[in-house]
Amino acid sequence: MSEYTPARGQRDPMDPYDAVLVASFGGPRSREEVMPFLRRVSNGRVPDSRLADVAEHYYRFDGVSPINEANEALLEALRQELRSRGSDIPVELGNRNSAPWFNEVVSSLYDQGARRILMLPTAAFDSYSGCRQYREDADKAVAALGHPDLVIDKIAPFHGIEGYAVANAQAVMASFSQIPPTPLEATRVAFVTHSIPLPMVEASGSGEPGTDYVSQHLAACTRIAELVRQHFGAMPQWDLVYCSRSGRPTDPWLEPDVNDYLETLPGQGVSSVVLAPIGFVSDHMEVVNDLDHEAAETAQKLGLAVARAATPDSHPALVAGLVALLTDQADAVREADGAVPKDLLCPCEQDGSARGGRSLSPDTHPGAGHPAGPAHPIAGSAGTPASPVTGHGATAASSSSPQPPAEAAEPVVPAAPIVPASQPTPAPAEPAAPAIPVSQPTPAPHQTGDFAVAQQDTEDQTRTAPIAGSHRPDGTYTVPTDARDQPVDPDQVNKASLWGMYSVFKVTTGLPADPGARAELVDGSVEWVTRAGAETRGWYDLSGLRADADLLVWWTSDDAAVLQDSYHRFVGTGLGRHLTPVWSNLAVHRPAEFNKSHLPSCFAGVAPRRWACFYPFVRTKDWYLLDAKDRSAMLREHGMAGAASPDVKASTLAAFALGDYEWILTLEGDDLARLVDVMKDMRYVEARRHVDIDTPFYTGERVDPDTWAGRQLTD
């Protein structure tokens, strides 16, 4: 069915597979579906009287589980990504506990000609209900349909792919803006996953040390924390905690419960916490109820500021990683003449058949009677006995626990703000307690010069999931944490037309040699220009960095006419008569194309830095005619290249029709060498091929007018 793609006349990269089946848990779509859904999930083991309590969680949302919409979005994203790689293979969804039913979808695909299907469960981690049970679902479906020529292969759990870590790391970073600026030592990141019975933990993984359910999560937490630290220079202490316990109260499950964990934080001096549901690919009812409501209420009772990070959903990095898994498996199967290489098999398939409907016996799965995927805890107890399994009791595994690799166990509460190891540490403006970095990822930047993390294509995908009782500003505006900076309202900035003028001059006649006369000349000139009403962001000494220029003055205003008046006043002053204009441009802030909350630093509350680099920018003519997806991909790469440079602040203003350029860019930093590093790093990205003009450069130190004048030639 998928061997050839007629429209392209070439082999489909998914050959020998005829379809991709996304297998998921499912969820109700209406109030009427809630109780039948819960009865199916509990498999008759729980009376309706207890299920009715769980049903109330769904009724709060009119019976609609968020998993359905999330799965539909993921399905479409996978289809688009596969098409972009040259595959027209069908991608369908089959649920275990709700429509579209798994068996019915398999039957439909078979009727359409599919004989070999690749199954992708929407569970990233290896446990019975998140891995083995999907294998059994597939085997039972093949057996029930009675088609000996039907084969369903399975993608192994994907918790280790980089796209999963990137998506979760960006969600954590975005959520920092949802809590007040907080000292690093007073902040925690709680990585949350689904609790499962301890026998199920022991049966998870390959049986080798370090492969079980908890170890998988600790490895994922470590990588996510590492990405956050790389991009922002700091990462609060993190802990691995659990939610959604169900089953008999006497049965040991993974602990601590997220609510019990929150109770311990105030006594540790913690005032802010980020809840990051890394164990969930998308919002389930567990996430919405257990975190957005129950955990939020606990935090509010304790006086903790709390934000809930978004789940990966259809994040582009995750989607790209999943499609790479699909196509890589297809490649490997082709090379192996149709066999699935052993290194691609799940642990649950290593010793049993993965083909033809023969199922691994449920008897080989300890804890199989305790599925870990019910839509909600049906019974639970705060008094669950401590786990007999070392490391899985009521103490959270964390960045300071012995279980993670050595890197994760290093102290993360610094005595001074941390910067990436590859960068020099700037001298702080004031001796203040380190605050948690609350910058967060933005979608692909509007144009070059945007040095935030950039992995997402649309503004909607950058959202931080809402949480009860918390304020959520629109978009992902970066709240400043440097003592020199002040927060602004991004909506108000975007509603205004905010202008910048960059005027370069050369000293052509010597200034007064007498210091008093020179100061009088400069001060009088500055005072006269100030009357126009513009803000002067800085005077920059260009001498020596260029032979044809000595001064750049950067003015800003909400009125272009005010800037023009400032220029007229300046050239007409006593000081201006000693200068010759070299270069001058006007530009204006316009809301960014992909992320309306991304602001130029000069209007985002960021104070001027010691050094600044100014330059114009023009794209090649074909850039604006490229497919939006291609532009977005290149800009994401560009943004990631600059993501390790949070110490460099960028301001990009539009200059279309105002002169000869499309954009005017400014980079500001306390270390001149860092401006050099960033500009060099930006050369190694694909978007560089679409640059037409990016000179001249005017770079200089920001100084006060009298200091600048004292450095110049005198008569």
* Residue linked to tokens 């301001």: 651
Strand partners, 91: 20
Angle of helix 162-175 relative to helix 316-335, nearest 10 degrees, comes to 170
HSE, side-chain direction, 13 A CA sphere, residue 611: 16
Q: Is-contact 434 417, C-beta < 8 A? A: yes
Q: Is-contact 171 230, C-beta < 8 A? A: no
HSE, side-chain direction, 13 A CA sphere, residue 665: 23
Rounded Cα distance, 101 and 465, in Å:
28
Strand partners, 504: 552, 583
Rounded to 5 degrees, what angle do the CA atoms 454, 456, 460 make?
A: 130
In one letter, which amino acid is 118? L
DSSP secondary structure letters along 478-512: ----STT-----HHHHHHS--EEEEEEEEE-SPBP
266: preceding bond cis by omega (within 30 degrees):
no
Strand partners, 588: 499, 654
Say whether 24 sits in a helix, a strand or coil. Answer: strand
Q: Pick the catalytic residue: 58, 164, 615, 698?
A: 615
Torsional class of 79: left (φ above 0), alpha (ψ -120 to 50), beta (otherwise): alpha
User: Does residue 638 have a known ligand-binding role?
Assistant: no
Rounded Cα distance, 650 and 602, in Å:
8
Rounded Cα distance, 613 and 675, in Å:
7
Q: Is 7 exposed, middle or buried (0-12, 13-18, 19+ CB in 10 A)?
A: exposed
Q: Is 361 exposed, middle or buried (0-12, 13-18, 19+ CB in 10 A)?
A: exposed
User: Does residue 194 have a known ligand-binding role?
Assistant: yes
Is 615 in the active site? yes
Which tokens is 256 given? 């601590």
* Three-class secondary structure assignment of 536-586: EEEEEECECCECCCCEEEEEEECCHHHHHHHHHHHHHCCCHHHEEEEEEEE
User: Does residue 65 have a known ligand-binding role?
Assistant: yes
Which tokens is 59 given? 């009724």
Which tokens is 581 given? 């204009």
Q: Is-contact 326 155, C-beta < 8 A? A: yes
DSSP secondary structure letters along 201-267: HHHSTTSSTT-SHHHHHHHHHHHHHHHHHHHHS---EEEEEEE---S-TTS-B---BHHHHHHHSGG
Which tokens is 397 given? 């595994």
Closest of 180, 206, 80 to residue 632, by C-alpha: 80
Rounded Cα distance, 568 and 311, in Å:
54
Rounded Cα distance, 380 and 248, in Å:
7
Q: Is-contact 611 675, C-beta < 8 A? A: yes
Give the residue numbers of the binding site: 65, 134, 194, 286
Residue positions annotated with a catalytic role:
615
Give the residue numbers of the binding site for Fe(2+): 194, 286
Give the residue numbers of the binding site for Fe-coproporphyrin III: 65, 134
